[in-house]
Structure formats: C-alpha cells, structure tokens
C-alpha cells in the first residue's frame, strides 16, 4: 500500500484551520521525543518548557510582553505575504526602527515633553519603513529579488547597531559597555499593569491587529493585495499594480517592525544595546504563517511563539539545556505547519502500489 | 614560508571564496532541476556544527567533512519532504529550513563553543606550488580548495555534457514534458536537492573545521544567503560561480587589505564587515536589472511545485 495525495476539487476550509492545530500537536509530540533523546524525562521537560512559564501572573505578563513585538512584526509581514511579497528582513527593519526612535531619545535626553514618546514611535515606524523601502525600490525599479536583498540588510542593520553602541552612541559613563545611556522617563513607554513589565506597546499591537484586519478584509487596497497573491494574472488583468503591492507589502512590514523595535528599546530594555531582539523579526514570519496570515490567528500564534521563547529560558534554568532549544521548537513548528498544509489542497488516499 | 602581501591576499581570497563555490554549485544544480531551496544558511550551519563535533571527537578532519555532508543531506531531505512530497511552498519551506537549521546548530553546538581544533596542514602540490607569487597562494591549500575547482568542472560537465544532466535540466525547464516522456520528476528533484544539501553541508564543514577552525553560534554569518545570490549573479552557469565567489571572498577579507596597505585612515570594523552584504545587494541589482537575462537563464519552472498525474 502507498499513500497518495489526490487534489481536492476545492481547498478544504476545515483543514485550513485544523492544520495549525495539527502542527502544534506534532510539535508537542516531537518535543516529548526530543526531551527523551536528550535524556530528560519527557513529562518533566514538557512541564518546564510549556507550563512553568505560565505558573503565575508575572509569567503571563511576561508572555504578553514577549508576544507584543511578535504580533506587531507578524501583522505587518502578513500584509506582504498575502501578496507574495517576501519581506524576510523584518529583523533588520526592527533594529533600524529602534535606532531611529532611540536617536530621538538620546538627542532630547533632558526633555520632559509629552511629544517625545509619540515622536519616537513615529520615528521608529519611519525608520523601519525606510529600511524596507530599499528592497521595495530595488525590486520595483531593478527587479532585484526582495528575499535576498531584505535579508542582506539584516546583517547591515546588525553591524550598524554594533558600530553605534561601540562607537558614537556609547554611554561615556557606562564602564565601556557597548550600550547607550538609559532613556529618560519621558522617553520610556508607560507600564500598563503595575508590577509587571507589560507596557503601552501591547496596545499598539492590538490596534495594529484591528487595523490589519480592516485593511485586509474591508479595504479595496487589501483586496488588491489578496488578488495579487492568489491570482497574479487575474490581478494584472484587472489593472491592479504589482509594483504597488510590493511597496505596500514591504512598507507595512517595515513600519510595524520599526514600531516593535522602538517599543523594545523604549520598553523593557530602556536603552540601545547589541541585543535588542532575540530574532523576533524571524520568529514573526512563523507567527504570521501559523496564524494563517489573519490578525486573529496571529494573536494566538504570537502568544504561542512567546511561550516557546520563555520555555527556552526555563529549559536553560531548570533542565540545563541551551536556550536556543526554543528556536528548534520554532523551526519544527513551521515545518509541521507547511507539511500539514498539504491536507488543505489534497486528500490522502491509500492506493495499491504500482508495479 | 613568508608570503608577500599580494600572495597572502590572494591566499585569503581563495580560502574565503571556497565555501561559497561549493555551496553555490550545489544550489545551482538544485535550481537547475526547478527547485528553489532557500535553506542553504540553515544547512551550512548544521553541517558546520556536525563537522566540528565529529572532527573534535574523532580527531579526523576528513570524518568531519563527511559528517557535515551527511548532516547537510539529512537537512535537505527535510526540505524535500516538505517541498517535493507534501508540495508545500518552496520559498516557505526553504525559510523554514534556514530558521530551523540556524536554531538547531546553536542548540547542538553549545557544548562545543570555545573549543578550537588543531589547524590542518595544507596539501602542497609539487611543482605548481613553486610558481612565484601564485604558487604558494593557489597550490598550498586545503584539500577542499582543490575539491571546489574539481567540482566546477564536474558540475559543468554534468549539466552540459552528460545525459543525466540534460534530463535534470529538462526537468527544470519543463517538468510536465519530462514527466510525459517517462522521467521521474520528483525523484530527480530529490536527487538534486540532496546533492545541494551535501554541498552546503561540506561548505559549512569547511568553515568550522578549516577556516576558523572552531564553532561559534552564527558563524555562517549569511554565507548561505550570499551563495544563493551568487547563483543569480552567475546566471546559473558554473564557471561564473567561481568568479563571483572569489569576488565575494575578496570582499570578506577587506579588513586584511586595509591593515596590510598601511592606510592611516581608521574605518570602523563594522563598515568593512558589512561590505560583502552590501556588495551582494549591488550585484543582485546589476544582474537583475536586465529582466530578460534572468528570464532566459533561470530554469523556467524554478520554485513551482510539481504534482505527478495532475
């Protein structure tokens, strides 16, 4: 007997939503196996990795804190992904957003103006957009593959951060650590829930989810993006500009990543260091896919991804495993999702093997 | 032997370009079969760590290379299952492989950080290494450097002079036509993907066993992506891959140029380090600008899934 995939006449709606759940289930299962291979008790490992982070309200708050940049980046990226615009450089756009907003914080250090913070957020969005505009321009003007250019710019952005915190922006009283001065209170996002680190950025993320939903489902431009992604030729025939899709997709991703970046440095970090993001821009791609490129899905998948980050920290602390185990889980999740998606368009059937 | 400035630059350029040649040629063959595997960065990372661990435990660099190659093939098998058997989007599958591979390598490699391997004595080719200026930089190299040259010839011969290569190209240009005359499109694509994985694994192994020789998280540093760009730069031709790889190799060692030239201007190290990435973008722009160059040279079915019996 041989497993064969038969095309379905119509994509299965049920499987569209079941597939992420199946993928999460498979990830849990392989997690258990992974812990077994590593010589840890699977039950203990599962508890530490997936349940420990949420055992108290502080843990839940940390989960929201970590989900925030993921939500922001993912909702921006999903706009582009819908139109097959592959911005994979959100990590770099996030860093440039952090630099652009952070520059204002450092430049107006003594300021108590209530406009400083909004200006920083705006600068963050613009910074991210600027970094995303480069691949958009190179793609629309010179036909250069945006996957490769946007990714290359991540490395450039990382080096730029490194240069600034080691050089011109280094805190002169910082004992030579590669970091800037701490941002003043006026340049720091207000805390939403006292006793936690959850800050106003969570509100930005929730607003972004709503705006993203309205844009994709209720606006003509969002409709054009979807058509461009699902039926390129139909879109062209209808006169929808492919170039505009690229621009909108890239800029939306850049703006949101930029806001995520400035929210991190003006939030939990409080200054610019070399370690602004533990790969949020890359993890956000997984968040977007697992969330089916829809804001509601992204809300849930960003929480799951944040849990994987926290699980890694727990595993390091209690199981003596490297925290990068969270990235192993993230990668597995995306693979399982892509694999499970086969059931959307195909029906598995057992057939007798041909001789 | 004391190398002259020119010779040492040439030597370092060749060394830096070697992994790029190997990885890019693997990817070139994969792409010629119509499959776009964006996972090179992840495969290289896992190949690097597997090779390092093996070489460290066994003391044999050769076993290290083989381990890197095996690990690379396993990684690319994951991609194959996702993109070829389960017909998932190739771009997404490749990205998944890169994210997974970079994470997995960091995880596996943690215990190996801050260990250094003994550097491997290069292989000196008699007579040729005596050529003034060029000899010591070209013919006193690691075995994999010579391997990369042989690989260029082998891939060029395979693609354009062998029957199997013709079939592979046919699959890449028109899978439907190749299928209709009885070629197993999916099987051939699997072979191409596995070859690409093996080469990316070897490329990673070169970095951790010969180039540095140690393991640091993130040490592949975008070389997998640069190799992908190289394939576009080379317009899918093996010989041009070599030219491009040495060009980028040169970019990667600019720091040496600057220090060696005795220049008094102080350029931040980060600027020099960003050169290969900026150069990649520039090169992509220059090549892609002419749409027809890309359209004519890229395999027609690149990135499209193939469903047998559809």
| Dist CA A117 CA A97 (whole Å) | 14
pLDDT at B4 over 90: no
Residue B17 within a domain? yes
Find the domain containing B138 and state its range.
Answer: 5-117+124-297
In chain A, what residues touch B95 (CB-CB under 8 Å)? 88, 285, 334
Q: What average pLDDT score do residues A174-199 get?
A: 92
Packing angle, helices A295-318 and A280-290, rounded to 10: 130
Residues B126-165 as b/e (b if ≥16 CB within 10 A, e otherwise) read eeebeeeeebbbbbbbbebbebbeebbeebbebbeeeeeb
**Residue B74 touches chain A, beta carbons under 8 Å:** no
B46-93 pLDDT, tens digit each: 999 999 999 999 999 999 999 999 999 999 999 999 999 999 999 999
Distance set, CA B119 to CA A235, B15, B122, B208, B211 (Å): 57, 14, 9, 11, 9
Is A129:A168 a contact under the CB 8 Å cutoff? no
Q: Which residues of B touch A167 (CB under 8 A)?
A: 268
Q: Of A124, A109, A97, which is closest to residue A184 (Cα–Cα)? A: A109
Average pLDDT over residues B10-25: 95
Domain count across chain A:
1
- Rounded Cα distance between A215 and A207, Å, is 12
- The DSSP bridge partners found for residue A351 are A2
CA-based nearest residue to B133, from B6, B248, B289, B30: B6
Q: Hey, which residues 60-89 in chain A have their CB within 8 Å of chain B?
A: 86, 88
How many domains does chain B divide into?
Answer: 1
Q: What are the tokens at A288? A: 């977007």
Q: Which residues pair with B214 in a beta bridge?
A: B116
Q: Indicate the angle between helix axes A325-340 and A280-290, nearest 10 degrees.
A: 30
Distance (Å, whole) CA A350 – CA B114: 51
Distance from CA of A265 to the nearest CA of B (A): 21
Size of interface A-B (CB pairs under 8 A): 138
B225 vs A148, A156, A339: nearest CB: A148
Q: Which tops the pLDDT comparison, A158 or B298?
A: A158
- pLDDT tier for residue A355 given thresholds of 50, 70 and 90: very low
Does B239 have pLDDT greater than 90? yes
Q: Would you say residue B99 has pLDDT above 90?
A: yes
Would you state the structure tokens that stand for residue B269, as one six-digit string?
């190290």
Q: Which of B41-45, B76-80, B255-259 has the lowest mean pLDDT?
A: B255-259
> Taking CB atoms and an 8 Å cutoff, what residues of chain B touch A345?
87
Does residue B310 register a pLDDT over 60? no
What average pLDDT score do residues A28-56 get? 93
Given a cut of 50, whether residue A59 has pLDDT beyond it is: yes
Distance CA A335, CA A224 (A): 29
Domain region containing A18: 2-351
Distance from C-alpha of B160 to C-alpha of B167, rounded to nearest angstrom: 10
Q: B 213-272 residues with CB below 8 A of A?
A: 217, 221-222, 225-226, 228-229, 232, 268, 270-271
For the domain that residue A16 is a member of, what is the CATH number?
1.10.3470
Q: Once rounded to an integer, what is the mean pLDDT over residues A222-230?
A: 86
Helices in A174-324 by DSSP H: which ranges?
Answer: 201-218, 220-230, 232-237, 242-264, 280-290, 295-318
Task: With a cut of 60, say whether residue B33 has pLDDT above it.
Answer: yes
Tokens (6 digits) for B217: 């998280």
Q: Are B253 and B276 in contact (CB under 8 A)?
A: no
Q: Is A294 on the interface with B (CB under 8 A)?
A: no
Q: What is the DSSP-derived secondary structure letter of residue B86?
A: S
**In this complex, which of B100, B226, B270 lies closest to A332 when CB atoms are compared?**
B100
Average pLDDT over residues B104-122: 90
Shortest Cα distance, chain A CAs vs residue B139, angstroms: 33
B165 pLDDT above the threshold of 80: yes
Does any domain span residue B246? Answer: yes
Strand-strand pairing, B123-124 and B140-141 = antiparallel
Whether the predicted pLDDT of A232 surpasses 60: yes
For residues B49 and B109, is the Cβ–Cβ distance under 8 A?
yes
* Complex ipTM > 0.90: yes
Residue B304 lies in a domain: no
| Nearest Cα residue to B170 out of B13, B306, B2 | B306
Among A304, A308, A285, which Cα is nearest to A77's?
Answer: A285
Contact A163, B268 (CB under 8 A): yes
- Asked whether residue B179 is domain-assigned, the answer is yes
> Percentage of chain B with pLDDT > 90?
71
Q: Which of B100, B294, B310 is nearest residue A331 as measured by Cβ atoms?
A: B100
Looking at residue A85, what is its pLDDT?
93
pLDDT in tens, A265-274: 999 999 999 9
Instruction: Kindly report, residue by residue over A279-328, the tens digit of the pLDDT.
Output: 999 999 999 999 999 999 999 999 999 999 999 999 999 999 999 999 99
DSSP for residue B39: T
Consecutive H or E run containing A34: helix A13-37
B288 in contact with chain A, both atoms CB, cutoff 8 A? yes
Closest CA to B299 of B159, B189, B172, B196: B172
Mean pLDDT of the B17-22 span: 97
**A197-226 residues touching B, CB cutoff 8 A:** none
- pTM higher than 0.80, yes or no? yes
Cβ distance B96 to A334 less than 8 Å, yes or no, reads yes
pLDDT band per the 50, 70, 90 thresholds, residue A4: confident
pLDDT digits (tens, 9 = 90+) for A117-173: 999 999 999 999 999 999 999 999 999 999 999 999 999 999 999 999 999 999 998
Give residue B263's pLDDT: 62
**What's the CATH number where B252 sits?**
1.10.3470
Q: What is the pLDDT of residue B116?
A: 87
Across the interface, of B42, B78, B274, the residue whose CB is closest to A159 is B274
CB within 8 Å: A324 and B106? yes
Alpha-carbon distance of B174 to A343, in angstroms, equals: 26
Cα nearest neighbour of A5 on chain B: B86
Number of H helices, E strands in chain A: 14, 2
């Amino acid at each position: 007997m041989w497993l064969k995939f038969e095309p379905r006449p119509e994509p299965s709606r049920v499987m569209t939503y079941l597939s992420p759940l199946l993928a999460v289930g498979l990830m849990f299962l392989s997690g258990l196996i992974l812990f077994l291979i590593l010589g840890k008790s699977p039950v203990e490992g599962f508890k530490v990795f997936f349940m420990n982070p949420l055992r108290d309200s502080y843990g839940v708050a940390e989960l929201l804190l970590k989900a925030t940049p993921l939500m922001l980046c993912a909702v921006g990226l999903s706009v582009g992904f819908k139109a097959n615009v592959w911005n994979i450089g959100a990590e770099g756009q996030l860093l440039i957003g952090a630099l652009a907003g952070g520059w204002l914080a450092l430049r107006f250090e003594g300021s108590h103006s209530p406009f400083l913070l909004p200006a920083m957020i705006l600068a963050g969005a613009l910074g991210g957009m600027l970094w995303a505009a480069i691949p958009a321009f190179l793609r629309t003007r010179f036909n250069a593959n945006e996957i490769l250019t946007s990714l290359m710019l991540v490395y450039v952005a990382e080096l730029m951060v490194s240069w600034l915190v080691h050089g011109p922006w280094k805190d002169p009283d910082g004992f030579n650590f590669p970091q800037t001065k701490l941002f003043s209170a006026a340049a720091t996002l207000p805390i939403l829930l006292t006793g936690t680190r959850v800050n106003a950025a969570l509100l930005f993320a929730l607003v972004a989810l709503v705006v993203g939903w309205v844009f994709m489902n209720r606006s003509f431009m969002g409709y054009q993006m979807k058509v461009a992604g699902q039926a390129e030729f139909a879109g062209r025939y209808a006169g929808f500009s492919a170039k505009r899709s690229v621009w909108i997709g890239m800029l939306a991703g850049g703006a949101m990543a930029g806001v995520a970046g400035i929210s991190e440095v003006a939030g939990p970090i409080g200054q610019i260091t070399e370690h602004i993001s533990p790969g949020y821009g890359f993890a956000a791609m997984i968040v977007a896919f697992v969330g089916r490129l829809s804001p509601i899905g992204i809300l849930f998948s960003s929480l799951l991804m944040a849990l994987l980050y926290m699980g890694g920290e727990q595993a390091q602390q209690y199981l003596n495993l490297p925290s990068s185990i969270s990235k192993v889980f993230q990668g597995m999740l995306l693979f399982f999702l892509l694999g499970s998606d086969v059931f959307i368009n195909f029906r598995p059937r057992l057939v007798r093997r041909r001789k | 032997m004391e190398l002259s400035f020119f010779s040492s630059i040439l030597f370092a350029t060749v060394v830096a370009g070697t992994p790029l040649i190997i990885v890019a040629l693997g990817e070139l063959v994969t792409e010629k079969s119509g499959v776009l595997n964006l996972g090179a960065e992840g495969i290289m990372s896992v190949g690097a760590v597997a090779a390092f661990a093996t070489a460290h435990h066994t003391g044999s660099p050769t076993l290290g290379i083989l381990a890197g190659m095996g690990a690379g093939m396993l990684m690319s098998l994951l991609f194959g299952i996702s993109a070829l058997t389960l017909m998932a989007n190739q771009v997404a599958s490749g990205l998944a492989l890169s994210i997974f591979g970079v994470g997995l390598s960091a995880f596996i490699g943690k215990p190996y950080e801050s260990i250094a391997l003994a550097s491997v004595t290069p292989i000196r080719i008699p007579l040729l290494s005596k050529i003034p200026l060029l000899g010591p930089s070209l013919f006193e190299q690691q075995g994999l450097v010579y391997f990369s040259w042989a690989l260029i010839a082998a891939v060029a011969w395979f693609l354009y002079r062998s029957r199997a290569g013709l079939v592979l190209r046919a699959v890449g240009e028109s899978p439907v036509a190749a299928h209709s005359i009885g070629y197993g499109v999916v099987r051939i694509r699997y072979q191409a993907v596995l070859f690409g994985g093996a080469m990316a694994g070897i490329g990673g192994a070169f970095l951790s066993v010969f180039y540095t020789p140690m393991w640091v998280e993130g040490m592949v540093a975008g070389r997998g992506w640069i190799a992908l760009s190289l394939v576009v730069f080379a317009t899918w031709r093996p010989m041009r891959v070599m030219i491009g790889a040495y060009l980028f190799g040169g970019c990667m060692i600019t720091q040496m140029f600057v220090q060696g030239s005795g220049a008094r201007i102080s350029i931040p190290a980060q600027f020099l380090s960003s050169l290969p990435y900026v150069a990649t973008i520039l090169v992509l722009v220059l090549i892609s600008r002419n749409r027809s160059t890309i359209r004519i040279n890229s395999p027609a079915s690149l990135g499209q899934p193939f469903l047998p019996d559809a």
